Amino acid sequence: MSNLILLILCFVAGILLRRSGRMPEQAPVTLNSFIIHVSVPALALLYLHDLKFSGDIILVVAMAWIYFGMAAAFFWWMGRRMNLPRPTVGALMLTGGMGNTAFFGLPMIEAYYGHQGIATGILIDQTGSFLVLSTLGIIVAGVYSSGRPSASEIARRIVQFPPFISMIVAFLLIPMDYPEWLSAVLKRLGDTLAPLALLSVGLQLRLGHLRGNCCGLALGLFFKLLLAPLVIYLLYVHLLGAHGTAIQVTIFEAAMPPMITAAIIASEHDLDPELSTLMVAVGLPLSFITLPAWWWVMQGV
């Protein structure tokens, strides 16, 4: 409960600090940079090093790829039925097809499942969400805008991403034991993720431009927070018969609100920037309601 209270307080603090003007405009950029270059790599080095591989790992890794495939098909189909502009369809594919599995997901996993769930969350984020964003996400952004990413550009983005590098290092170091001081340092650095991430999210929260985007926003958040997690839940639990904490965390990550980075990429490619921002701004507060509901549903899994 204390972890959840911490998340809410940091989120509210970010909103209040933005409205008061006491934080510089570039503060979220600085916070996000620290999280990407220090907090998440520290968590990857600490928890992936002790990851125990099991038969569930394929389902854990596959979730983000299945999810994005569903989103691409769903929003392409709905775009044709509703005659949505191509930039809007592209924006919904990106923000509705990728969850905030790191900045928001890892702190929420820690709050509901404790430290033992973080390794699964990092695995989902790095081998799932991040790779999907860096490959299929970049391709969709290019197709629905005017650009076309090259294979070398995609490869460069992947291999230069600090959390991805730390993931590879953590796997390579699995045969070796960490000294006690290193584990302690990595834990202290990793503990900065929760407060900084939610503070950053609160600083970036902007609701504007609701008028004219309600239809696309409702469609996108219905898919992201309810429909797609339900499909993953039915597929994994009822069709494949998967159970255990790793599967619970996987479905919990599937229910996360839209990824901030995906919204940024959509905006940079001029894919309905207003709708992309609203997906994040409205999705995050709503997830404080939907995520506890999903956690309750999965108690018997």
CA distance 267 to 272: 7
| pLDDT given at position 200 | 84
- For the segment 165-211, what is each residue's pLDDT rounded down to a tens digit? 888 898 899 888 999 999 999 999 988 887 888 788 788 777 666 67
pLDDT at res. 301 = 73
If we measure between CA atoms, which residue out of 85, 69, 78 comes closest to residue 135?
A: 69
Domains assigned to the chain: 26-198+214-300 (1.20.1530)
- What percent of the chain is modeled with pLDDT above 70? 93
How far apart CA 156 and CA 259 sit, in angstroms, is 21
Indicate if the pLDDT at residue 37 is higher than 80.
yes
Tell me what the mean pLDDT of segment 206-221 comes to: 82
In tens, the pLDDT along 280-289 reads: 888 988 998 9
* Dist CA 288 CA 120 (whole Å): 21
pLDDT of residue 48: 77
- What is the average pLDDT across 15-34? 87
pTM: 0.79
